[in-house]
């Protein structure tokens, strides 16, 4: 397993700054859209439930932004 992980990491590693920035922005946006839209879908689909509040959507978007900044903050 460790050998496979090193092999994949070696193939993904690049020294080109543009590709690093592009990939970091892609992952940051992926976290924002996936977690944010997932929270909105949960809110809409479980609207009758007490567990589904507007606060959960706001907290999910805040968490998604935090993850996005954590992922791409060191690169771009």
Residue (of 75, 64, 62) closest to 24 by Cα position: 75
Average pLDDT rounded to a whole number, residues 45-70: 83
Provide the pLDDT for residue 76. Answer: 63
From residue 49, give the alpha-carbon distance in Å to each of 9, 29, 35, 42, 44.
43, 29, 20, 10, 10
Tokens of 55: 């606060």
Between 1 and 46, the higher pLDDT residue = 46
Provide the pLDDT for residue 20. Answer: 83
> Is 8 domain-assigned?
no
User: Does the global pTM surpass 0.75?
Assistant: no
- Whole-angstrom distance between the N-terminal and C-terminal Cα of the chain? 31
Which domain range does residue 54 map to? Answer: 16-72
Provide the pLDDT for residue 50. Answer: 72
Residue (of 24, 26, 28, 52) closest to 40 by Cα position: 52
pLDDT at 64 over 70: yes
Number of domains within the chain: 1
Percent of the chain exceeding pLDDT 70 equals: 95
């Amino acid at each position: 397993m460790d050998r496979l992980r090193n092999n994949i990491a070696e193939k993904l590693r690049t020294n080109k700054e543009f590709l690093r920035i592009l990939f970091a922005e892609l992952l940051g946006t992926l976290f924002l859209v996936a977690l944010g839209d997932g929270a909105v879908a949960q809110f809409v689909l479980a609207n009758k439930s007490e567990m589904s509040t507007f606060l959960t959507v706001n907290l999910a978007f805040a968490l998604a932004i935090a993850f996005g900044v954590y992922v791409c903050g060191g690169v771009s």
